[in-house]
Amino acid sequence: MANAILSFTKAQIKQGDKIVLSDVDLTVHSGEFVFLIGKTGSGKSSLIKTLYGDLNLDKGQGQITGYDLAALKEKQIPQLRRKLGVVFQDFKLLSDRNIFDNLSFVLKATGWKDTQKITERIKEVLTLVGVDADLQKFPFELSGGEQQRVAIARALLNEPELIIADEPTGNLDPETSKEIMTLFKKLHSQGMTLLMATHDYNMIVKFPGRIFRCEEGQLFEVIQQ
């Protein structure tokens, strides 16, 4: 399918021995903003883990950024993840490294060697997400909102084809959540493709996009009135 960054056809998602979602049909095209909603335990996170190779695709067809998820090999997972920017609920910043080192670690791990270019790219993404904190600060010295902005900056470092956000406002207060959602909308307006899992229905009302709901082992598109 033309410019489909992600597509599932009759896919089955498993977590251990348990079938979490069956007959999943989902397509995300370049430039879309797609919400994945549903209660805790409905399969949102399992679906997302399948996208970045943390869970195997059990049955059916799935492709993401040109990779066949049904035939994904262990050695392909790092290359796949370079095409994705993943943002987690709990930030997953390295607590023993400052802001700069959290970001330079990712760039070095993905083949960047030029110190000046690394520094320039880090400054670019931090400006993009609105972080002007001292780069020598450690994650514990930042507010939750600042930590999530740094985590989003980390996701943007290698100019991903798709940003996947798993409950990115789950640990934030309502006001900060709104600021983070506004940031995601800004990134989307600049042409980025986003898939966001959330159970915060207020966000969906304020920030419209395509919506898919995980419920009772199925995935449905929610048609908005």
CB distance 81 to 53 below 8 Å: yes
In this structure, the strands spanning 67-68 and 18-29 are unpaired
Token pair belonging to 107: 């760039």
* Residue 130, CA atoms < 13 Å, CB-side half-sphere: 13
pLDDT at 225: 59
pLDDT in 10s for each residue of the chain, 225 residues: 457 999 999 999 999 899 999 999 999 999 999 999 998 889 999 999 999 999 999 899 999 999 999 999 999 998 999 999 999 999 999 999 999 999 999 999 989 999 999 999 999 999 999 999 899 999 999 999 999 999 999 999 999 999 999 999 988 999 999 999 999 999 999 999 999 998 877 778 777 789 999 999 999 999 875
| Angle, CA 112 vertex, CA 124 and CA 166 arms, to 5° | 60
Q: Are 184 and 128 in contact (CB under 8 A)?
A: no
Instruction: Output the DSSP codes for 116-169.
Output: HHHHHHHHHHHHHHT--S-TT--GGGS-HHHHHHHHHHHHHTT--SEEEEESTT
Q: How high is the pLDDT of residue 31?
A: 93
Give 162's strand partners. 84
Longest dimension (CA), the chain: 51
CATH code assigned to 1-83+195-225: 3.40.50.300
Q: Tell me the residue length of the chain.
A: 225
pLDDT of residue 1: 42
What per-residue confidence (pLDDT) applies to 149? 96
pLDDT at 59: 93
Q: Determine contact, residues 19/13, Cβ cutoff 8 Å.
A: yes
Q: How far is CA 223 from CA 48, 50, 195, 208, 209, in A?
A: 22, 25, 17, 12, 11
